Amino acid sequence: MRVTIFGSSGLLGNALIHEWSGDAVTGLRSRVADIRDAQGVQRVVRETHPDWIVLAAAYTDVDGCESNQDLAFAVNSEGAINVAAAAKEVGARLLFLSSDYVFDGKKSAPYETDDPRNPQSVYGRSKAEAETKLLDLMPDCCIVRTSWLFGVGGKCFPDTILKLAASRPALDVVNDQRGSPTYVVDLARAIPQLCRQNASGIVHVTNAGDCTWFEFAQEIVRSAGLPTTVRPVSSAQMARPAPRPAYSVLSSARLRELRIEMPSWRDALRRYLKERQN
Ligand X SMILES: NC(=O)c1ccc[n+]([C@@H]2O[C@H](COP(=O)([O-])OP(=O)(O)OC[C@H]3O[C@@H](n4cnc5c(N)ncnc54)[C@H](OP(=O)(O)O)[C@@H]3O)[C@@H](O)[C@H]2O)c1
Q: Which residues bind ligand X (CB under 6 A)?
A: 6-7, 9-13, 29-31, 33-36, 56-60, 75, 79, 97, 99, 146-149, 154
CB 210 within 8 A of CB 179: yes
| C-beta of 213 vs 214, nearer to ligand X | 213
Distance in angstroms (rounded) separating the CA atoms of residues 243 and 235: 9
Beta strands in 70-224, from DSSP E residues, in sequence order: 93-99, 142-146, 149-150, 170-174, 178-179, 182-183, 201-204, 211-212
Residue 5 beta carbon to ligand X: minimum distance, rounded to whole angstroms:
9
Residue nearest to ligand X (CB): 10
Considering the complex, state which of residue 128 and residue 231 has its C-beta at the smaller distance from ligand X: 128
**Beta-carbon count within 10 A of 155 CB:** 10
CB of 225 to ligand X, least distance (A): 25
Closest distance to ligand X from the beta carbon of 170 (Å)? 25
Helix/strand number for the chain, H first, E second: 11, 12
Q: Which is nearer to ligand X, 43 or 168 (CB)?
A: 43
183 given a catalytic annotation: no
CA 171, CA 195: separation in Å to the nearest integer? 41
Identity of the residue, 67 or 229, whose beta carbon is nearer to ligand X in the bound complex: 67
Residue 276 gets the label, from left (phi > 0), alpha (psi -120 to 50) or beta, of: alpha
State the minimum distance, in angstroms, from the CB of residue 248 to ligand X: 9
Geometric angle at alpha carbon 185, from 24 and 151, rounded to 5°: 125
Active-site residue set: 123
